[in-house]
């Protein structure tokens, strides 16, 4: 593919916009550098650790949303199978398991080449999607890891829609 431009057109650091969004929501965060921002957000089942890395050389923001626990070594094969099933139904991003740490995470890259700035709505959508998907997936993960349920059964139980309140 021939590139029409050899430079990054994005002139503003999207993490500056993200920092405003995080401040507006009163989420705890740390901005270790101009290219990295880490925040914490409470989900329905646990707290999630959000990590944003700005890579201006490719004009993209790498995003990951980490669960607050590790998968035991003996359960990782089942969790990989579960991740594959969950990923089939996603329209944005994907789930992964950090090889060394065994931490489940939602990941997505936001390409920004040619965009002068990132829209706050783009960042809101990615964070909202990550938290909703992590909250949806969390029960299935727990059923596989701690209850020893078969992957297909855990997935069915977690995806079952409830009506009303008990």
C-alpha to C-alpha distance for 6 and 79, rounded to whole angstroms: 41
pLDDT 10s digits, 46-98:
999 999 999 999 999 999 999 988 999 999 999 999 999 999 989 999 999 99
Q: Please state whether 96 falls in left (phi above 0), alpha (psi between -120 and 50) or beta.
A: beta
Sheet holding 104-111, edge to edge: 29-33, 36-42, 47-55, 60-66, 104-111, 94-97
Which tokens is 126 given? 């990615």
Q: What dotted CATH number matches 14-159?
A: 3.30.1460.10
E strands, the chain, are: 29-33, 36-42, 47-55, 60-66, 94-97, 104-111
Confidence category of residue 165, pLDDT binned at 50, 70, 90: low
pLDDT 10s digits, 123-157:
999 999 999 999 999 999 999 999 888 999 998 88
Burial (CB < 10 A; 0-12, 13-18, 19+), residue 155, is buried
Burial (CB < 10 A; 0-12, 13-18, 19+), residue 82, is buried
C-alpha to C-alpha distance for 63 and 105, rounded to whole angstroms: 10
């Amino acid at each position: 593919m021939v590139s029409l431009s050899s430079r990054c057109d994005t002139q503003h650091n999207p993490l500056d916009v993200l920092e405003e969004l995080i401040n507006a929501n009163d989420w705890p965060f740390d901005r270790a550098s101009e290219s990295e921002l880490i925040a914490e957000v409470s989900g329905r089942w646990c707290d999630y650790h959000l990590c944003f890395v700005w890579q201006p050389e490719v004009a993209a923001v790498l995003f990951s949303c980490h669960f607050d626990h590790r998968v035991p070594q003996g359960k990782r094969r089942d969790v990989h199978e579960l991740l594959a099933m969950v990923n089939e139904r996603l329209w944005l991003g994907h789930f992964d398991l950090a090889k060394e740490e065994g931490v489940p995470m939602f990941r997505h890259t936001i390409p920004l080449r040619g965009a002068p700035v990132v829209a706050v709505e783009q960042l809101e959508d990615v964070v909202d999607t990550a938290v909703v998907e992590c909250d949806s997936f969390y029960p299935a993960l727990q059923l596989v890891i701690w209850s020893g349920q078969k992957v297909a059964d855990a997935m069915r139980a977690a995806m079952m829609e409830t009506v009303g309140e008990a």
